[in-house]
Chains A and B, each alone.
Chain A
């Protein structure tokens, strides 16, 4: 059981470039989400998905796209990178049954620097 995996671990982009951050989980969790963490702050929700084919926006969705074609994968696309998107990105998943089953488990994070 690998849990939640994210690739790449580190990425440097130039302003205007696009890229996809990969996230996968092997726990058959229905709920997946993307957060960003800026220095000295807690995490903020970008997008989330309650199941394959269903996605919705979080608190800070601008500049990001997501899709969920399978239960396992939830990629995050940066359409045109900006320096304000320099951050650490975390993917998380949960079974979502309520109670302790709703606990979200996080991937190791992707550190993104936009120059």
Chain B
């Protein structure tokens, strides 16, 4: 079974509008972390936002927020007021198994976001 599922291969959004990128995850570990990364066409991986499984509040970082619904195992990224520079590939990732010292990330297949003027 896929541990991280991103069902939207591609998304379009108009500049200045908000957009939600979906991510669902699968784990039986009670302690886990969820991450979103942005990969522009230049190829680097840019960290956007983190949500811990025990965090009570949804994470926010500037125009990025994470809609964390633990019971549904979803961790959707919301980008408000989209900008042309937001056009990129977005990856959802999960870290499990804190107790083992293993901090590897499992990545979804990504969503390509295109912001239109």
Contacts and interface: CB of A to CB of B under 8 A. Distances in A.
A44 interface: yes
B83 to A, nearest CB: 22
Tell me whether chain B's interface is mostly helix, strand or loop, or mixed. Answer: strand
By CB atoms of chain B within 10 A, which of A43, A59, A105, A109 has the most?
Answer: A43
Nearest to A101: B50
B35 interface: yes
A40 B111 CA distance: 10
Given A43-B91, A48-B102, A102 B33 contact: yes
Interface string B90-117: 0101010010011111111110000000
Nearest to B39: A37
A104 B109 contact: no
Bin chain B's interface residue count. Answer: 20 to 34
Contact of B107 (A42, A96, A98): A42
A53 interface: no
Interface of A: 31, 33, 35, 40-45, 48, 50, 56, 58-59, 88, 90, 92, 94, 96, 98-100, 102-106, 108-109, 111
